[in-house]
Amino acid sequence: MNRETSRGLFERAKKIIPGGVNSPVRAFRSVNDVPFYVKKAKGAYIYDEDKSRYLDYVMSWGAIILGHADEGLIEEVKEALGSGTSFGACHRYEIVLAELITDAFPAIEKLRLTSSGTEATMSAIRLARGWTGRQNIIKFRGCYHGHVDSLLVKAGSGLATFGIPDSSGIPLDLARHTYIADFNNIDSVEEIVNKNKDIACIILEPVMGNMGVILPDKGFLKDMERICRENNILLIFDEVITGFRVTYGGVQHIYDTKPDITCLGKIIGGGFPIGAFGGRTEIMDALAPEGNVYQAGTLSGNPVAVRAGVYVLDYLKKNRLIYQQMDDYIKRLKEAVLAMKEKYRIPYRINAITGMWTGFFTDRVVDDYASALESDRICYERFFKSMLEEGIFFAPSPFEASFVTSQHGEEELSRTIDAFDRVFAGMAKR
Ligand SMILES: *Cc1c(COP(=O)(O)O)cnc(C)c1O
């Protein structure tokens, strides 16, 4: 694919934007490449400045579930825009969105909106500390919760590929309050809890998306729930990706677990900046102006983002078949690709749940951070570049999820399967 215009833009960007990007993974560094510049996106496809079209599996990192530039959504947003872009005051639709969310998540009795997922997890942690009067938190190796100081310790996603265990600029005194446990290893959680009495909360992605998709073992989430209850520790589910993706009520619905606080983002803004955190009334009422935990935002509950979110959630609520469709898509893709992996003898393994999946270049089971890291990065780089040549855009990093939407249909599925055949054949030859 010709990327001349994109290359020119990237050179220009690098002069005035650090690394040329506003979020590190967009720089394509983990795959030793340079980014294309997006001109527009529609349905399951994204178009770049050099007039190439790519079938999109990044989908704004999972924020898009109805496909790009959905017409109903655009109409709704146009109407919202006509009434003003920001009020900094109360409006009707923030209640409608909150009602849709509490309706879908029984564990959320009250919630507050923020402008990003990062703000949601940051505020949830402060709330947990304020409510319990304790300082320490537990997170899991490889779980990413946004760029919050206390949570940028052993985080996955961009950080996993860059091999930066921590970010600089985080006070050691703060990082000290974050304990690290291993996903799918309840003993590692129990050990920390038994040794330390000052734990405010445990935060995790109940299905990991930021080391690629990693599912919880049977009983893992339930055990965590029990440990939290026994020790008066608040359990925080970061469902920023999984929220309305794996099913309408998130991972907690599928695994029948009840976190004390849930963080949401991505899908609930329909592609606009948003986040939310919510939980039991008594906990949420510790927030100002009701309680003493301060949290605020000039653009929180932004009317345009909220109207977009209301549209998407309402649509999903009335069209649950979308989940079935996304599930079928991934199942059929998985079946076809696994047969091909046999045919070409390529070590490859797929972890999947409704709406999201990851292919790891390894033969062993991927069920935690360490096993995900076994995935061959050189293979992924080759895969990524060959797929891009085929007109298919996967995440520019091996430790990410691929996302499907309601717009990924039969045509997209067969295009992808055909591309896998050619790409795997090419990889097997070398
Ligand atoms: C994306 C993400 C965040 C951060 O959300 P932003 O809107 O990027 O700040 C937090 N947690 C998880 C699980 C995420 O995937």
CATH code, domain carrying 110? 3.40.640.10
pLDDT in tens, the chain (430 residues): 889 999 999 999 999 999 999 999 999 999 999 999 999 999 999 999 999 999 999 999 999 999 999 999 999 999 999 999 999 999 999 999 999 999 999 999 999 999 999 999 999 999 999 999 999 999 999 999 999 988 887 766 555 444 344 688 888 888 889 999 999 999 999 999 999 989 999 999 999 999 999 999 999 999 999 999 999 999 999 999 999 999 999 999 999 999 999 999 999 999 999 999 999 999 999 999 999 999 999 999 999 999 999 999 999 999 999 999 999 999 999 999 999 999 999 999 999 999 999 999 999 999 999 999 999 999 999 999 999 999 999 999 999 999 999 999 999 999 999 999 999 999 998 6
Q: Is 144 a catalytic residue?
A: yes
Structure token pair of residue 64: 């898009």
Last residue of a domain, one of 318, 348, 366: 318
Q: Are residues 304 and 341 in the same domain?
A: no
203 C-alpha to ligand 1 centroid (Å): 13
Residue 226 belongs to domain spanning: 71-318
Q: Tokens 């790891």 appear where?
A: 360
Q: Are residues 176 and 268 in the same domain?
A: yes
135 C-alpha to ligand 1 centroid (Å): 23
Q: How many domains does the structure of the chain reveal? A: 2
For residue 350, what is the domain's CATH number?
3.90.1150.10
423-430, long-range: CB within 8 Å, 24+ apart, which pairs?
Answer: 423/383, 423/386, 423/387, 423/390, 424/340, 424/341, 424/343, 424/344, 424/346, 424/348, 425/344, 426/386, 427/344, 427/346, 427/379, 427/382, 427/383, 427/386, 428/344, 428/345, 428/346
Q: Are residues 184 and 300 in the same domain?
A: yes
Omega into 289 within 30° of 0, i.e. cis? yes
Last residue of a domain, one of 289, 318, 347: 318
Pocket of ligand 1 (CB under 6 A): 116-118, 121, 144-146, 205, 209-210, 238, 240-241, 265, 275
Q: Are residues 88 and 169 in the same domain?
A: yes
Q: Are residues 264 and 366 in the same domain?
A: no
Q: Are residues 259 and 346 in the same domain?
A: no
Q: Are residues 63 and 78 in the same domain?
A: no
Q: Are residues 32 and 89 in the same domain?
A: no
Please tell me the predicted confidence (pLDDT) of residue 172: 81
pTM over 0.85: yes
Q: Are residues 370 and 420 in the same domain?
A: yes
Task: Give the number of residues written for the chain.
Answer: 430
Please tell me the predicted confidence (pLDDT) of residue 158: 55
Question: Which residue among the candidates 144, 329, 348, 369 is catalytic per the annotation?
Answer: 144
Please tell me the predicted confidence (pLDDT) of residue 163: 39
Q: Are residues 170 and 55 in the same domain?
A: no
Please tell me the predicted confidence (pLDDT) of residue 157: 55
Question: Which residue among the candidates 154, 266, 368, 369 is catalytic per the annotation?
Answer: 266
Last residue of a domain, one of 318, 336, 351: 318
The atom number, within ligand 1, closest to the CA of 116 reads 7
Residue 69 to residues 121, 283, 315, 407, Cα–Cα distance (Å)? 28, 37, 15, 11
Let me know: does 27 contact 33? Beta carbons within 8 Å.
no
159 C-alpha to ligand 1 centroid (Å): 13
Q: Are residues 188 and 336 in the same domain?
A: no
Q: Are residues 336 and 367 in the same domain?
A: yes
